[in-house]
Structure formats: structure tokens, C-alpha cells
Copies of this chain bind each other. A is one copy, B any other.
Amino acid sequence: MPKPRPLYSRRGRVEILHGSGGRAMAQLVAELFKVAFDNAWLEQGNDAAVLPQVSGRLVMSCDSHVVSPLFFEGGDIGCLSVHGTINDVSMMGAQPLYLTASFILEEGFLFADLERIVASMASAARDAGVSIVAGDTKVVEKGKGDGVFITTTGIGVLREGIVLSGDLAQPGDRILLSGTIGDHGMAVLSRRENLEFDAPIFSDTAPLHGLVANILDCGARVRVLRDPTRGGLATTLNEIAQQSGVGMLLDESAIPVKKPVEAACEFLGLDPLYVANEGKLVAVCAPEDAVHLLEVMRAHPLAREAAAIGEVTEDSRRFVQMATRLGGRRIVDWLAGEPLPRIC
């Protein structure tokens, strides 16, 4: 016997009244979100979640997710929206604890898809040990949205003594990268454009708080952690160079790129340095600690291909330069032109 549709979804699709604040929305919250996210704070059923007291400085970050398509190899907008915010909180060295999730649904969106996305979020949050403690649902008319947009905000708590910031890189510091670049962007793009490559490309979307904890626990003097998402590795490194008032010199041959990603980038005329990642981080550390830190990173399942990719230089122009495979040097600029829209 087929399972009866839940009360909120008797017609199978999102309707305007699911965002009205009335009975249909209450059913959607009670039968979908509360069941999937399953925690005491959502059960409170109030306008806001009352959380325990935390000790330590708070870290807070938010991200809207508008990725298109919603489902791709290796992930979907649901787990992506959880990982993205967990990672931003983690990059300051904090332990992520609580998330909020706000949904902007387009009228006519399939509840079957929403259910799949919500299940993916719930599972990503559970795996990372964070709770989705509050939420919101709005519905816009057909043609005024695009299926679903998800905004997550996360808070975490910072242990005593941890100071990470994009303005702390110093000349001589080493630049480590936790793995291959371009996987997420090319996974989304190849699904969007219906490109078939010999080997499928999987998004690297993953929560990095565990890797960050290992990095902080190992005693290395780490100055900066940052995840190279939109704009790719090139933009992230330029941001750090800008903030710290330094230059960088990268070694092209040291930057890991998966073969299928490299091939797809070449085919499309894209540079993997500018393609988004969702499960990678850059660590800038004191030169004496680089070897040890690299070992620690490689021992973590999400950073087996970690590599030392360059060093911080003194440069008042704040240029990120790269020693190319052919023996030359080139400037690696900020992403400037039109790139890959709606990649996260």
C-alpha cells in the first residue's frame, strides 16, 4: 500500500498558503521540518530557540544557497547549505554548534524534492554534531524564485587562545591546501550543462570542523584558515594577501587537481584556480611547522591529498604570483570577469 501523502502535501506541490503563517504552514513545520531536524529547540515551538549558555567567544556566519541545479553528483543544496555554514564557522577555529535554516520556496516546487533536500540537511547536520534549532519558510509565486533557496546561519564557540584571521599571514609562512581544487564547481557545472565526461566529477562538499580541530590540536602555529569557495583558490589567496598586506608565491605543479576536473576545465576554457570548492581549506602556518602540519592534515580522511603549495612573500603590491610548470611566473589575479554563477 503506498504511504499516504502527509497533510501538508496533499497536492504534492508547494502552494502559496504553505508560507501564509496559517494551518498549512504549521503542518509543514510539524510534519516535515520538526520530524527531520528532530531536536528539543524546534520542539519548543516558539518564535526563537532558547539555547544553553556557552562559554567562550561566539563565532557567527551566514550563507544563502542558490545553487542550480539543486541536485548534483556528490551532493545537493541541502547538505551544501549545512556544510557551507559549518565551514565558515570552523575557519575561525570555532566548534560549530547551532544552525538556523530559512527556506524560500517557489510555488509549484515538488514536495518530493523538498523532502529529499531536508533529509540531506538533517543527515549532514547530524553527522557534524550540529542542531538546526530554528527556521522559517516563505513561498513566492511561480516565476519569482527558482525551486528553493536556503539560507543557513551558524554559531559556534571558540576555545581560549585561538586567534585565526585573514590579516595574520607573514612573509615566510607556508601555504597548505587540504586537497584537490575545482571538484565542486565542475560537478555542478557538468550537471547543469548536461556534460558527460569519461569519469564523473563529484562535488567535494563536506564539513571541515573535524579537520580544523586536528589542525588546531597539533601545536602548529597556524595564522589563517579559509575555505576557497566562490571565486576559487585564486580569490581566497588574494583576499588573504590583501588583508595581511603580503604577497604570495605559488608552485603550480604542487596544486592538486583531479584528472577529470582538469580535463573538464580545459574543455570549457576554465582555470581550476577560480572554480569553487566546498570541502577544502587553505592553512597558512609558520614555516617551521609546515611539515608537521601537512602530516596531520594528510592523516585526516578529508585531506589525504593535502599539499604545500607555496609561501607568503613580502610584497607591498600584494600580488599572488605563481611559478608555472613551464618555468615562468605569472600573476594570479582576483576573479574578475563573469565566472560560474549559482555554484553554491
Contacts and interface: CB of A to CB of B under 8 A. Distances in A.
Nearest to A88: B47
A232 B23 CA distance: 12
B46 A342 contact: no
Contact of A341 (B16, B133, B156): B16
Interface string A165-197: 111000000000000000000000000000000
A149 interface: yes
B165 A91 contact: no
Interface in A285-312: none
Contacts of A50: 57-59, 92, 94, 158
A338 B17 contact: yes
Interface stretch (A115-123, A223-231, A250-258, A259-267): A223-231
Ranked 10 nearest A-B pairs via Cβ: A21-B230, A22-B335, A21-B231, A48-B61, A153-B153, A62-B100, A151-B151, A144-B146, A47-B88, A51-B58
Interface of A: 15-17, 19-26, 44-66, 87-89, 91-92, 94, 98, 100-104, 133-141, 143-146, 149, 151, 153-156, 158, 164-167, 226-227, 229-232, 235, 239, 243, 274, 276, 334-342
Given A47-B89, A64-B104, 11 more contacts: A17-B338, A20-B341, A46-B165, A46-B226, A48-B60, A48-B61, A49-B59, A52-B57, A54-B54, A145-B145, A145-B146
